[in-house]
Amino acid sequence: MHSTEMSSWVNCLAQGQNDRFVPCQLGDSIQQPFRDVTGQIVDALWLITPITDHFLGFRLLVLIRIFPHVLQVILMLTKLFDFNLNSVTESSLWRSTDYGTTYQKLNEKVGAKTILSYLYVSPNNKRKIMLLTDLEVESSLLISSDEGATYQKYRLSFYILSLLFHPEQEDWILAYSHDQKLYSSVEFGRRWQLVHERVAPNRFYWSKTGLDKEPGLIHLETIISEGQALYVTCKLQNCTEANKGKPFPGYIDPNSLVVQDEYVFVQVSTGGRPIYYVSAKREVFTPMKLPKYTLPKDLHVISTDENRVVAAVQEWNQNDTYNLYVSETGGVFYTLALENVVSSMGHEGNVMIDLYEVAGIKGMFLANKKMDNVVKTYITYNRGRDWRLLQAPAADLRGNSIRCELPYCSLHLHLHVSANPYTSGNIESKDSAPGIIVASGSIGAELTTSNVSMFITSDAGNTWRQIFDEEYSVLYLDQGGALVAIRHTPLPIRHLWMSFDEGRQWNKYSFTMSPLFVDGLLGEPGEETLIMTIFGHVSHRSEWQLVKIDFRSIFNRRCTEGDYQTWHLHNRGEPCIMGVKRIYRKLKPIARCVMGKTYSVTMTSEPCDCTEADFECDYGYDRRSDGKCTPAFWFLPSSMSRSCTTGTTFINSTGYRKVVSNNCTAGVIAEYTARRQHCPTQAPKGLHLVTSEGKLTATLGTNVTFLVFLEEGDGARTSIMVDFGDGHALTYSNVSSIENGVKHVYKAVGIYRVTATAENSLGSESVVLYLHVTCQLEYIHLSAPFVAVKSKEVNLTAVLWPSQVGTVTYIWWFGNNTEPIITLEGSVACTFSREGVNTVTVQVSAGNAILQDRKTIAVHEYFRSHLLAFSSNLDDHNPDVAEWRLDISRVIKNSMVKLSEILLSALNQNLVQFTLRPGVQVTVYAAHLSAAPLVDTSENHSGSAMLMLLSVVVLGLAIFVVYKFKRYSLLGRWENVTNQVGKFLSVDETF
């Protein structure tokens, strides 16, 4: 390797007069460029990765977009963040028409005081630009149709959180607002129309040409409640109730809708277990069939290209790993591809799977698998049908031999994509450079984070070479014809490395005279150009510098046909991959020429004869150690799809299925391909009955949709009867006639035994579902006595309104007890072991509602109740409110106290007498209170009769008043349960 100064082809930028940037000499300091900045290259949606300078106390965020047109336009948006105010206080928009050699400040064109937040570019017309203002200041859009040269401003009545551009129509945009509303525009943001309210974030999708009936269709998930959502489709400009579509009959789990390519996925949880549904080519939804005992607790769709689904499933016994499953073209039947793939949590809480799809070569994946707490890297060339370890390089960077034999030692790679858009990730590959992969990793028995080096392969993973012994950012230039590497380091640097022969030889160059803290590289529009920009700072207190590097002067000519060679894709010498032999045209390593934007990857292919390696195990089959596919213990090969109809045919599996997009022909294809056979007549089997919401509860008076599925049997000739359990039943001639479900409305609360019966000439099968029909609990009242006898049982009753709400649980709390009593009945008997005031609380749980009531009970040794009547005119003044009873009770108590004073005076004057028998006159007088029993029946008693009236004053008379309304109020309905008639007053009496 050698070092070369690049002064002849390096330009840096310095700010000159009139807010323009002009070329400066290599190593010149930059007076006023962009301070403390970071940003990212985006197409339509933007992600910001800020870097904070604690010395300066503020930061700038840079968003950059380059337009690959004749003008070679770069737009740069900078924002100043004030930490004291915790907000963005300034922004500037810069524009270059010469790939960054000079910049012009456009603040006057967008409004000198306007603070910009995001920059968007139409993916279908790069000339159309959209700028979004800072939401904390105003809500406006600035729109340009001339690559950002001029702008028009449009006010908005809502705040935009995200945008989604149509993949084909350049003026069609969806905007999601801060209040969960979705808007649409067909004029590139100049006018907006409300599409729908209560839309789940990031759960709205444009229609796909060739699959949806019209291009203006929108797929979206609407929020119904905290645990329920709906999948609906809307017309772009006419989303009325009459025009809405509901492709899935029933509620779905929140944030579960995924519309990707020709597939639609939703999730419905039943009994705490998720059920995943898929629709292929917009047909009816079908439950995804994973192996029987997979029992997933989480599922992520990884890929849907090439008419097949790759799903990562976290099973019941996994925590930090996922299993990879692959489907057939319908996306319904899944087989295991690779177990225990490493997973981690991303910066925004999203799950990241260590699976990398290699660009440029279909069917090639890399994955990190964990086994016995050791992580190893595996590679597949046939979409997960076969995996193997990576062969380590034969020599290290210095040419020393590496002793590393499979399977004990191999090469392991880090497969994460960089979170910083200005630096390359742990692994890089490009469609324009098939076979070239650059990645960081380690050699040994497992993947480690220490002693990380950089490795490259130019033959699609068959052989690897070590290129650096530290981590580097690597950019592909000129369609992979040149590679540029800059060291990952917190220290300042002044060199970069460049290779023209697919990483075999690296040359060292200086790009600045003063060492620079490098924060990122810009190569947009990517590997098609030979221009890149490095940005960073000289010190933590210095201004930021942009260094533009134009590599074009290194090359003196364009590539000709003689500069190319053919390359045969292979897997350890096997040329037939995915059923074909693929031959690519690649640049010769010794060629030093420019391929340019007009270059395109060319490949020729010829089919291979089919072998067993072109087939994977079908659903329900496991691969044995000898490679043969045999039925799993839970699978019956004779089982058929419920759509198999007598008189028609079905596909009877051989235990194998051809790997999706595999193009082999002849060979053993007839032996391994499933055979079409006539459907035999059979009795119905595998009948399923569920509600569309996947729940066992329903609300009184609402439509309940029941879904009936039949796994086996002649669906077209099997009748279905659904008995709703309330005296109503319906019969249908065949299963297909109720694919959208059976609706029924229950008119009374209760638990209903719903039965579905499938029957044909050969037999029948039934299935039962117990449905709890409930209504909302509005109020409860605890009916309890106001006074009770010590150690004597009393009854407590919880009265509900409405009286019938479905399944109810009662939780009773007595005094200071820490453990409650739980019953299914609304009454409970209890005793109190001590005198005094005791508190009783009852909580009633009905559905999602929990209500409670509380009463206090006075406990005495003995007491007696007297019923008192009131004159009828009392009810004439009853306002029918709860406070009325309390006030009347207070008045009656006061009256009784006054009466007790008159009685006490009579007792003290010996005016209270009665005749016990002729000649025996008994005088009643007031006695002193004591702690003795209220009734003394011992033989030593003096024999005189003593009556003691306990009252709250003087004599301790305790009075409890309950006034019963003639009219019913919500708080008084509890009295309907009493057998007493009339108005009563309860008075404590002891004797």
Q: Quick: pLDDT tens for 218-234.
A: 999 999 988 889 999 99
Q: Are 790 and 834 in contact (CB under 8 A)?
A: yes
Distance CA 679, CA 339 (A): 36
With a cut of 70, say whether residue 438 has pLDDT above it: yes
Q: Which phi-psi region, left, alpha or beta, contains residue 876 (left: φ > 0; alpha: ψ -120 to 50)? A: alpha
The confidence band for 10, taking pLDDT boundaries of 50, 70 and 90, is: very low
Higher pLDDT, 815 or 893: 815
C-alpha angle 698-700-706 in degrees, rounded to nearest 5: 40
pLDDT for the residue numbered 31:
25
With a cut of 80, say whether residue 868 has pLDDT above it: no
Q: Are 351 and 321 in contact (CB under 8 A)?
A: no
Which residues, in sequence order, are CB contacts of 85 under 8 Å at separation 6+?
A: none
Give the predicted TM-score (pTM) of the model: 0.68
Please state the rounded mean pLDDT for residues 227-250: 87
The confidence band for 962, taking pLDDT boundaries of 50, 70 and 90, is: very low
Report pLDDT digits (tens) over 685-703: 778 888 887 788 888 888 8
State both tokens at 957: 């008379």
pLDDT for the residue numbered 419:
59
Report pLDDT digits (tens) over 895-933: 777 777 787 788 778 887 877 677 777 787 766 533 333
State both tokens at 239: 């989303």
Q: In a 10 Å sphere around its CB, with 0-12 CB exposed, 13-18 middle and 19+ buried, how is residue 595 labelled?
A: buried
883-890 long-range Cβ contacts below 8 angstroms, 24+ apart: 884/963, 884/965, 885/962, 885/963, 885/965, 885/972, 888/961, 888/963, 889/960, 889/961, 889/962, 889/963
State both tokens at 917: 């028998």
Q: Which phi-psi region, left, alpha or beta, contains residue 873 (left: φ > 0; alpha: ψ -120 to 50)? A: alpha
Within 10 angstroms of residue 740's Cβ, the number of other Cβ atoms is 12
pLDDT for the residue numbered 647:
59
Please state the rounded mean pLDDT for residues 773-791: 88
Q: Are 841 and 813 in contact (CB under 8 A)?
A: yes
With a cut of 70, say whether residue 631 has pLDDT above it: yes
Distance CA 278, CA 803 (A): 42
pLDDT for the residue numbered 237:
82
Q: What does pLDDT average to over the chain?
A: 79
C-alpha distances (whole Å) from 861 to each of 681, 900, 934, 944 are: 80, 22, 8, 22
With a cut of 90, say whether residue 975 has pLDDT above it: no
Q: Are 467 and 455 in contact (CB under 8 A)?
A: yes
pLDDT for the residue numbered 937:
32
Distance CA 502, CA 459 (A): 10
pLDDT for the residue numbered 943:
33
Lowest-pLDDT choice from 27-31, 177-181, 276-280, 741-745: 27-31
Which residues, in sequence order, are CB contacts of 645 under 8 Å at separation 6+?
A: 679, 714, 715, 716, 717
The confidence band for 124, taking pLDDT boundaries of 50, 70 and 90, is: confident
The confidence band for 269, taking pLDDT boundaries of 50, 70 and 90, is: confident
Q: Are 475 and 484 in contact (CB under 8 A)?
A: yes
C-alpha angle 299-304-308 in degrees, rounded to nearest 5: 100
Higher pLDDT, 588 or 340: 340
C-alpha distances (whole Å) from 488 to each of 494, 495, 936 are: 12, 12, 98
pLDDT for the residue numbered 840:
93
Report pLDDT digits (tens) over 551-586: 877 777 888 888 899 999 999 999 999 999 999 988
Identify how many contiguous H helices and E strands the chain contains and give both numbers: 3, 74
Q: Are 234 and 224 in contact (CB under 8 A)?
A: no
C-alpha angle 772-775-780 in degrees, rounded to nearest 5: 115
Q: If you write DSSP's letter for every residue of 159-220 in order, what string do you get? A: -EEEEEE-SS-TT-EEEEETTS-EEEESSTTSS-EEEESSEEEEEEEE--TTTSSSTTEEEE
Please state the rounded mean pLDDT for residues 415-442: 80
Distance CA 736, CA 444 (A): 58
pLDDT for the residue numbered 425:
67
C-alpha distances (whole Å) from 417 to each of 353, 440, 478, 479 are: 11, 11, 22, 20
Report pLDDT digits (tens) over 164-182: 999 889 999 999 999 999 9
Within 10 angstroms of residue 780's Cβ, the number of other Cβ atoms is 23
Sign of the alpha-carbon dihedral angle for 892, 896, 897, 901: positive
Q: What is the DSSP-derived secondary structure letter of residue 902?
A: H
Query: How many percent of the chain have pLDDT more than 70?
Result: 81
With a cut of 60, say whether residue 36 has pLDDT above it: no
pLDDT for the residue numbered 196:
93
With a cut of 50, say whether residue 374 has pLDDT above it: yes
pLDDT for the residue numbered 910:
81
The confidence band for 444, taking pLDDT boundaries of 50, 70 and 90, is: very high
The confidence band for 410, taking pLDDT boundaries of 50, 70 and 90, is: very high
State both tokens at 596: 């340019």
State both tokens at 716: 């077209």
Helix (H) or strand (E) run with residue 287 in it:
strand 286-287
Report pLDDT digits (tens) over 457-490: 999 999 999 999 998 888 888 777 888 898 888 8
Half-sphere exposure of 81 (CA within 13 A, CB side): 18
With a cut of 60, say whether residue 107 has pLDDT above it: yes
pLDDT for the residue numbered 717:
75
* Best CA proximity match to 773, nearest among 744, 755, 751: 751
With a cut of 50, say whether residue 286 has pLDDT above it: yes
The b-or-e profile of 11-38 (16+ CB within 10 A means b, else e) is: bbbbbeeeeebeebebeeebeebbbbbb
Distance CA 540, CA 103 (A): 25
Q: Are 616 and 656 in contact (CB under 8 A)?
A: yes
Which one-letter amino acid corresponds to residue 974? Answer: W
The b-or-e profile of 954-979 (16+ CB within 10 A means b, else e) is: ebebbbbbbbebeeeeeebbbeeeee
The confidence band for 15, taking pLDDT boundaries of 50, 70 and 90, is: very low
Q: Are 410 and 421 in contact (CB under 8 A)?
A: no
Beta bridge partners of 603: 584
The confidence band for 935, taking pLDDT boundaries of 50, 70 and 90, is: very low
Please state the rounded mean pLDDT for residues 332-358: 88
The confidence band for 143, taking pLDDT boundaries of 50, 70 and 90, is: very high
Report pLDDT digits (tens) over 380-406: 999 899 999 999 999 998 889 999 999
* Chain Cα centroid distance, residue 472: 34
Higher pLDDT, 307 or 882: 307
**What is the residue whose two structure tokens read 């922004």?**
91
With a cut of 60, say whether residue 869 has pLDDT above it: yes
Q: What is the DSSP-derived secondary structure letter of residue 964?
A: P
Distance CA 957, CA 663 (A): 100
